[in-house]
Amino acid sequence: MKNILLAVVMLAMALGSCRRKETPPVPDQPESPSVSVPVFNSDSAYAFMAAQTAFGPRVPGSKAHEACALWMESQLKRYCDNVTVQPFVARSWDKRLLNGKNIIASFNPDARKRILLCAHWDSRPYADHDPNPANHRKPIDGANDGASGVGALIEVARLLSQNPLQHGVDIIFFDLEDLGEPQQEQSDLSDTWCLGSQHWSKTPHITGYRAAFGILLDMVGAPDATFFMEGTSMHYAPEIMQKVWNTAHQIGYGNYFIKTESNPITDDHLYINKLAGIPTIDIIHIDPSTPTGFFKYWHTVNDRLENIDKNTLKAVGQTVTQVIYSY
Ligand SMILES: [Zn+2]
């Protein structure tokens, strides 16, 4: 996912204007409180996350990347009868052709009412925001940036298998999200981030695929994370933002979900909104106190398992679970 300043410029070009809107007051309305909602197990989500980092950095083209793809597919098949692997080829910022795989689990594939949940699973080959320049071309473990969202959603898949819903849910793990041009480079290509979601948004796994809304998880495992109401999500899907943030406040996670709008960023949800037309929000750790605007180890070699907090996984995982079971 791309750094805020550059993303603002790109979004301004894409939208023609980039005015910051006043955030309307968001009342804490109850969201269908009578529904029975399963308990999101953060130990389980953490184990699913740790299993990914144990492969090492899941950099496209590496053995770890290949092995992790097979592992995710096998995990989803434990919980879901309909798992699709969508292979694709995409061109990177440095003009290499790379093989990617989007991995998709569809619960109740025939249901018309559907919710899309997603995260990226690849890890960034460049720690280009590490304080030590010697690390700028080293890959990151991506415990938070990548593995946390996937870990949380495999746990949601486990809950869905044990507590079936009437409506459909699709869980998509996008590949090649975090391969955009390094900070120290200038590519002459545009849209070098989010290659897997760009491919899927143009060519969904099912022709004419529709979902009522989508939720993207990105960097949902750092201690004391702050999830602001991110600007791209507010532009395309303000009602979904309010629904999710209200739900978080209602079930006691208001300290994580901050009801303040922040600048728009480029992440997988931008392309799902723009190309696939599915209103999709991003639950992403934004921290205005760091130089990058993201969590403090963003795109550094310290994005490791030891810097993950199960309490944050729980806050996000339980909120998403509440939203999909209350739909
Ligand atoms: Zn990243």
DSSP lists the bridge partners of residue 97 as 91
- CA separation (Å) from 320 to 120, 142, 204, 243, 260? 17, 22, 23, 11, 19
d(CA 269, CA 58) in angstroms, rounded, equals: 21
Measure the CA–CA gap between 38 and 220, rounded to whole angstroms. Answer: 20
Structure tokens at 82: 């309909």
Q: Taking a C-beta distance cutoff of 8 angstroms, is the pair 189, 91 a contact?
A: yes
Confidence of residue 26 (pLDDT cuts 50, 70, 90): low
CB 280 within 8 A of CB 215: yes
Give the number of other CB atoms < 10 A from CB of residue 258: 16
User: What pLDDT score was predicted for residue 190?
Assistant: 81
- pTM beyond 0.85: the answer is yes
236 alpha carbon to ligand 1 midpoint, in Å? 22
Tell whether the model's pLDDT for residue 202 goes beyond 60.
yes
Task: Yes or no: say if 111 and 282 are a contact pair by the CB < 8 Å rule.
Answer: no
How distant, in Å, are the alpha carbons of 21, 123, 224, 226 from that of 280? 18, 22, 24, 19
Tens digits of residue pLDDT in 280-311: 999 999 999 999 999 999 999 999 999 999 99
Q: In the structure, what pLDDT confidence band is assigned to residue 11 with cuts at 50, 70 and 90?
A: very low
165 C-alpha vs ligand 1 centroid, how far in Å?
A: 32
Q: Which of 289, 8, 305, 6 is nearest to 128 (CA)?
A: 6
Using CA atoms, how far residue 28 sits from 173, 267, 323, in Å, is: 31, 27, 14
Spatial CA neighbour of 53 closest among 127, 128, 151: 151
Q: Tell me the CA–centroid distance for residue 44 and ligand 1, in Å.
A: 23
Going from the Cα of 91 to the center of ligand 1, the distance in angstroms, rounded, reads: 18
Look at domain 4-325 and name its CATH class: alpha beta
**C-beta atoms surrounding 271 within 10 Å:** 23
3 state DSSP class of 200: helix
The domains of the chain are located at 4-325
pLDDT at position 7 over 80: no
Ligand 1 centroid, distance to 124 Cα (angstroms): 6
Q: What is the DSSP letter of 112?
A: S
Number of Cβ within 10 Å of residue 33's Cβ equals 10
pLDDT of residue 16: 36
Report pLDDT for 28.
55
C-alpha 319/C-alpha 306 separation (Å) is 24
**207-245 tens-digit pLDDT:** 999 999 999 999 999 999 999 999 999 999 999 999 999
| pLDDT for residue 14 is more than 60 | no
The rounded Å distance from CA 126 to ligand 1 centre is: 9
The pLDDT of residue 188: 75
CB 8, CB 262: distance < 8 Å? no
Task: Read off the pLDDT of residues 75-94 as tens digits, 9 standing for 90 and up.
Answer: 999 999 999 999 999 999 99
Distance from residue 6's CA to the centre of ligand 1 (Å): 14
Confidence tier at 6 by pLDDT (50, 70, 90): very low
